Copies of this chain bind each other. A is one copy, B any other.
Amino acid sequence: MALIVQKFGGTSVGSTDRIQNVANRVIQEVEQGNQVVVVVSAMGKTTDELVKLAGEITSNPNSREMDMLLTTGEQITISLLTMSLQERGYKATSYTGWQAGIQTEHRHGNARIQHIDTQKIHQQLKEQNIVVVAGFQGVSEDGSITTLGRGGSDTTAVALAAALNAAKCDIYTDVTGVFTTDPRYVKEARKLHSISYDEMLELANLGAGVLHPRAVEFAKNYHVPLEVRSSLEIENGTIVEEEVSMEQNLVVRGIAFEDNISRVTIEGLNNELQTLSTIFTALAKEHVNVDIIIQNVTSNNHLSISFSIKAQDVDMTLDILKQYKDTLGYERIEHESNLAKVSIVGSGMISNPGVAAGMFEVLAAEEVEVKMVSTSEIKVSTVVPQPDMVKAVEVLHAAFELEAQPVQQV
């Protein structure tokens, strides 16, 4: 008998029919002799509807009250799923975040979990109950309801799995697993049997979108094995774990990409200690999300800085930089839009120094111009013209032999 944590997102519980389907998936696990804790999100459009109600009252809602409002969404789902399990003759109990003992810091909209008091859940499991927990929410020390921010239900599931010392945490989603790249663009894309936490982290941060990076980090820190799998189709998903020994021979595990990127270049900056922090603090204050940053010192001790942002943030970025013209003393600003980011990810890169070079070679052979480069130990990101994005992904996918089944399988 193993203890399994299952997590079902908003699409998987989008209607009462889908909730019935989720109940069936939970019961399958129970029928295999496992103890199950289920974490669920709010039903499909519930959150949007609640946000709309708040919008009718105020354009600037208090964050404590937004948490109070939004957490009703998961509370509805847990009660309905529990009823569905009971209707099928299974013992089940629902818990909100505070009932499940999920203690967070005292902060609204984006609180971190500090501690989980698992006593009540353990008691319920001991009494043969399926425990259904509201994702995304917790309670602060002063008894206020808090939320965990984006990807919060993934985080709830992984944190519960860690606290309960679960055998694994299954993340049910609307895709069947983690792919070598997006199968909607590249037909050779292949579902991975497994992937390491670090690789998943890079892919998640790069917008692969199936799993929230925070949850992956949590899983990595607490050694919780994850499986990303489909809530609709019955097949094995992708296992996210510490070491992917069986596929270690693969240098590159996957390719992530993202369109609508812009590059902004500031030339002729004074080379002062404060320059970098002045620029990026000003942008952060206005919630401009800066991705790749490249800095260069030219011969006359002048600084040149390029960075990539989302295309929609270009106007605001230029406005902000103009406001700081006197402070920064730059010569000119240039910007280029219609770009895309293409990244290769794989923990095998650490011991294979030529991987980045190989990537540039493949792109050059296809006449894809590389505008920016950023590297980490297990990732190489390039910024390329947007019209070349899919071609770049395809040739890289082929060059790094990602469509091939690995020789050794799990």
Q: Does A369 contact B (CB under 8 A)?
A: no
**Contact (Cβ within 8 A) B79 A69:** yes
B143 and A56 within 8 A (CB): no
- 1/0 per residue, CB under 8 A from B, across A142-156: the answer is 011100000000000
B16 engages A57 (CB within 8 Å): yes
Given A50-B76, A57-B16, the answer on whether A94 and B68 have CB atoms closer than 8 Å is yes
> Could you tell me which residues of chain A, from 183 to 219, have a CB within 8 Å of some CB in chain B?
none
Q: How far is the CB of A67 from chain B (nearest CB, A)?
A: 8
Selected contact of A20 from candidates B57, B93, B144, CB within 8 Å: B57
> What is the 8 Å Cβ interface bit string for chain A, positions 4-40, against chain B (1 contact, 0 not)?
0000000000001101100000000000000000000
Q: How far is A145 from B84 in the complex, measured between Cα atoms in Å? A: 19
What residues of chain B lie closer than 8 Å to A54, measured between beta carbons?
Answer: 79-80, 83
Flag the segment in A58-66, A166-174, A341-349 that touches B: A58-66
**In the complex, which of the residues B20, B58, B72 contacts A86, with contact meaning CB atoms closer than 8 Å?**
B58
Known contacts A65-B94, A99-B143, A120-B143; is A57 also within 8 Å of B83 by CB?
yes
Specify which chain B residues have a CB less than 8 angstroms from the CB of A57 in the assembled complex.
Answer: 16, 19-20, 80, 83-84, 87
A78: CB under 8 A from chain B?
A: yes
The contact of A79 among B68, B94, B96, by CB within 8 Å, is B68
Complex CA–CA separation, A57 to B60 (angstroms): 36
Determine whether A163 belongs to the interface, using a CB cutoff of 8 Å to chain B: no
Interface flags for A126-148 (1: CB within 8 Å of B; 0: not) read: 00000000000000000111000
Q: Specify which chain B residues have a CB less than 8 angstroms from the CB of A20 in the assembled complex.
A: 57
* In-complex Cβ contact of A75 among B17, B72, B99 (8 A): B72
Contact A53 to B68, CB < 8 A, known contacts A83-B58, A84-B58: no
The answer to whether A65 and B50 touch across the interface, beta carbons within 8 angstroms, is no
**CB-defined contacts of A145 to chain B, threshold 8 Å:** 96, 99
Tell me the bound Cα distance from A190 to B393 in angstroms.
80
Q: CB-CB < 8 A to A93: which residues of B?
A: 64
Contacts of A19 in B (CB 8 A): 57
Shortest beta-carbon distance from A304 to chain B in Å: 46
- Give chain B nearest CB distance to A25 CB in angstroms: 16
User: Does residue A82 face the partner (Cβ distance < 8 Å to B)?
Assistant: yes
The smallest beta-carbon distance between A56 and chain B, in angstroms, is 4
Q: Is the CB of B86 within 8 A of A65?
A: yes
Q: In the complex, what's the smallest C-beta–C-beta distance from A66 to chain B, in angstroms?
A: 7
Q: How far is the CB of A61 from chain B (nearest CB, A)?
A: 5
Closest-CB distance, A87 to chain B (whole angstroms): 4
Complex-state Cα separation, A96 to B54, whole angstroms: 18
List the 6 closest A-B pairs by CB distance, nearest first: A72-B72, A69-B79, A16-B56, A68-B79, A58-B87, A65-B79
Pull 27 A–B residue pairs with CB atoms less than 8 Å apart, ordered by A: A17-B56, A53-B76, A53-B80, A57-B80, A57-B84, A58-B83, A58-B84, A58-B87, A60-B87, A61-B83, A62-B82, A62-B86, A64-B94, A65-B79, A65-B82, A65-B83, A65-B86, A65-B94, A68-B75, A68-B78, A68-B79, A69-B83, A71-B75, A75-B75, A98-B98, A99-B144, A99-B145
